[in-house]
Chains A and B, each alone.
Chain A
Amino acid sequence: DTGVSQDPRHKITKRGQNVTFRCDPISEHNRLYWYRQTLGQGPEFLTYFQNEAQLEKSRLLSDRFSAERPKGSFSTLEIQRTEQGDSAMYLCASSLGGTLQETQYFGPGTRLLVL
């Protein structure tokens, strides 16, 4: 399977704990995106990487959230001191980048539940 993969698929944690999610993009894709989706809503953009550089962050990305893409391949999204409001589906997407290559391909998501 050469699609976008995410791990874990599900995570249950207690409030105040830290969690880390991983995303593996399609191998030749330069751009990687993180989104958050709550029930009944569309995905909301969090941040995006061009290779290893983090080029944009949404105001939704509070100080408790940090994302990395150290070698321009896989990415991690860490949430520190989780809160119940962080419960959501976290989606990763990747694209080849550049004109005519804008289509973003999404992974299956990581569903987070904060108790």
Chain B
Amino acid sequence: SQQGEEDPQALSIQEGENATMNCSYKTSINNLQWYRQNSGRGLVHLILIRSNEREKHSGRLRVTLDTSKKSSSLLITASRAADTASYFCATDTIRGGGADGLTFGKGTHLIIQP
């Protein structure tokens, strides 16, 4: 089953605008990661935020994490046409035995209009 739920499922904005995507999850986590996937291709890692962190930046990306609400957001500033892709959050849940497979949501499909 998929733990994460991204919101919205689809988002279309004009180039230059900011894009915000949200992710909610159900169980306690070690960390949360965001990935990008261009159509029919593999996933590209964007950013990892640990459960004891609240905000993280990487270039035009800003990620927040609220463990009390079990939610995260990904902000892409000054969007570009090349940002058109599906974005997934993935959680590394706390289970016995250490690191385990990631649990992904269904993704947000982002379209940047030129």
Question: Hey, which bits of chain A sit against chain B, CB under 8 A?
Answer: 4, 31, 33, 35, 40-48, 55-56, 58, 89, 91, 93, 95, 97, 102-109, 111
- In the A-B complex, list the 4 residue pairs whose CB atoms are closest, starting with the nearest: A45-B101, A42-B104, A106-B43, A108-B42
- Contact partner, B41, options A43, A48, A109, Cβ 8 Å: A109
Expressed in whole angstroms, the Cα–Cα distance for A102 and B90 within the complex equals 12
Task: Determine whether B33 belongs to the interface, using a CB cutoff of 8 Å to chain A.
Answer: yes
B99 touches A95 (CB 8 A): yes
A42 touches B45 (CB 8 A): no
Q: How far is the CB of B6 from chain A (nearest CB, A)?
A: 8
Chain B: interface residue count, which band? 20 to 34
Q: How far is the CB of A45 from chain B (nearest CB, A)?
A: 3
Task: Determine whether B88 belongs to the interface, using a CB cutoff of 8 Å to chain A.
Answer: yes
- Contacts A42-B105, A106-B45 known; A56 to B97 CB distance under 8 Å? yes
B107 touches A42 (CB 8 A): yes
Task: Determine whether B2 belongs to the interface, using a CB cutoff of 8 Å to chain A.
Answer: yes
16 pairs from A and B in contact (CB 8 Å cutoff): A4-B42, A33-B101, A35-B101, A35-B102, A41-B2, A41-B106, A41-B107, A42-B105, A45-B102, A55-B97, A56-B101, A102-B31, A102-B99, A107-B42, A108-B42, A109-B42
Q: Given the complex, which residues of B lie within 8 Å of A40, measured CB to CB?
A: 106
Q: Given the complex, which residues of A lie within 8 Å of B41, measured CB to CB?
A: 108-109
A45 touches B42 (CB 8 A): no
Q: Given the complex, which residues of B lie within 8 Å of A43, measured CB to CB?
A: 43, 88, 90, 102, 104
Q: How far is the CB of A10 from chain B (nearest CB, A)?
A: 10
- Contacts A102-B48, A102-B99, A103-B33 known; A44 to B104 CB distance under 8 Å? yes
Within 8 A of A (CB), among B80-114: 88, 90, 92, 97, 99-107
Q: Given the complex, which residues of B lie within 8 Å of A95, measured CB to CB?
A: 99
Expressed in whole angstroms, the Cα–Cα distance for A55 and B31 within the complex equals 20
Q: Given the complex, which residues of A lie within 8 Å of B18, measured CB to CB?
A: none
Expressed in whole angstroms, the Cα–Cα distance for A104 and B88 within the complex equals 13
- Contact partner, B45, options A44, A47, A104, Cβ 8 Å: A104
Q: Given the complex, which residues of A lie within 8 Å of B27, measured CB to CB?
A: none
